[in-house]
Every structure is written in structure tokens, then in C-alpha cells.
Amino acid sequence: MRKLLFVIPLVMLGAGSTACATKKFVRGEVGQVNTKVQGLSTQLEETQERTKKNEARIAEVDTKADEAGKSASAAQSSADAAKADAAKADAHAAAVESASKKLIYEVVLNEDEGNFKFGKVELPDEAKQKIDEMVSHMKADPKNIFIEIEGHTDNVGSKVYNQTLGLERAEAVKRYLYEAHQVPLHKINVISYGEDKPVSPNNTKDGRAQNRRVVIKVLA
């Protein structure tokens, strides 16, 4: 019986020691985990702070980009307005000069004379020959001349398309006068009437061919 009394306290002592060791281990592990959590929290806060700063920088860059875009748009609008005003002034000056002059020579370039085919703007040799003859006549009787070039089309296609096509045809003649005969550009005015001034009905093939034309007027 005495041996049993001695054994029991030893066992109980051993169990108590093991429990204490386990608690210390757990406290140590928990402390390490808490330390790691605190470290991660600090890193997270630093990352969030950097993110806020980067977002602020990005917002600042976006604002500057928007301001630059608005400035560029305003500058382009001003340039377009100035260009439109200059074109109006040129047209007005040409109209004034034209009104003070009389017609002395006129050349009509249409499809019957080997000129503008459907939808085309190129000058064929036949049309260039007629222009050459006109320039020769002008040089034989030199005066203070002014040239008006009118572009015309049939009514096939939209009005906007025909307006552009008529202008391109007139510009082709202007370019030939300048490049082949050195006629000063300030002596030439170009205008497109598109489909608005037909000389024949557009309900026939021959009529449409007559309407596809360029009219060159020499004024003095």
C-alpha cells in the first residue's frame, strides 16, 4: 500500500509538467502567429498606402491628359474656323473680281468630247488638247484675264458625292493649267455645282453624258 501511495503523486507530477510544457508551446506558437499577423497587417497597410498614392498620380495624369486633349481640340476648332473664314474671303474676292469682268472665251469639256466618263475625274488627251487651244488663244490676245472653272455632274448618286466629284473635275483642269501652262493659281477660281445645273435631262443616257462636264470661262 505504501508503494502505491508514492507512485500516484509521481504520475500526477509528471502529468502536471507535461501540461505546463504544452501551454508554453501553445503560447509560443500563438505569439509567433500574432507576430506574423502583425507583420502582414503592416505590409497590407503599406501596400494600401502605395496604392492610394499611385491612384492619385494616375488621376492627376488623366486630368492633365484631358486638359491637353481639350486644348488640342480647341486649337483644331480655331484652325478650322480660320480656314473656313479664309476660304470665304477667297471666294468673295473671286466673286468680286469676276463680277467686274466680262466673258471673252468659254470651253466646255463633256463626255461627247472625250472627257469625263461616269464617276471619273482624270483628264484624257482630248480634253487637254482643247485646253491647250484655249491657252493659245489667250496668249494670242493677252489681256488681264481671270479664269473660272465650273465642275458639273449628272444626278446619279447623292448630292454630297456629286458636289465632291464636280469639284475634283474642276480641280483637275486647274492643276493642268498650272502645271502645263504656268497659269498663276491666283488667276483661277474653282467651283462645283454638282448636279444642280444640268444642261440636259438626266432621264436619258445622252442627257447625263452632257451634264458630266467642266466649263472653263475666260474673263477679262
Return the pLDDT at 12: 47
- pLDDT in tens for each of the 220 residues of the chain? 444 444 445 444 455 556 566 766 667 666 676 777 677 777 777 788 888 887 888 888 878 877 777 777 777 877 767 766 665 565 555 555 555 678 888 999 887 665 656 656 778 788 888 999 999 888 877 668 899 999 999 999 999 999 999 999 899 999 999 999 999 999 999 999 999 999 999 999 888 888 989 999 999 8
**Rounded Cα–Cα distance for residues 115 and 192 (Å):** 17
Q: What's the first-to-final CA gap in the chain, in angstroms? A: 150
How confident is the model at residue 21, as a pLDDT? Answer: 62
**171-189: b (≥16 Cβ within 10 Å) or e:** bbbbebbeeeeebeeeebb
Q: What is the pLDDT of residue 93?
A: 59
> What's the pTM?
0.54
Bridging pattern class, strands 213-219 and 146-152: antiparallel
pLDDT at 40: 73
- Res 118: pLDDT: 62
CB distance 180 to 127 below 8 Å: no
CA–CA separation, 117 vs 123, rounded Å?
A: 10
pLDDT score of 110? 82
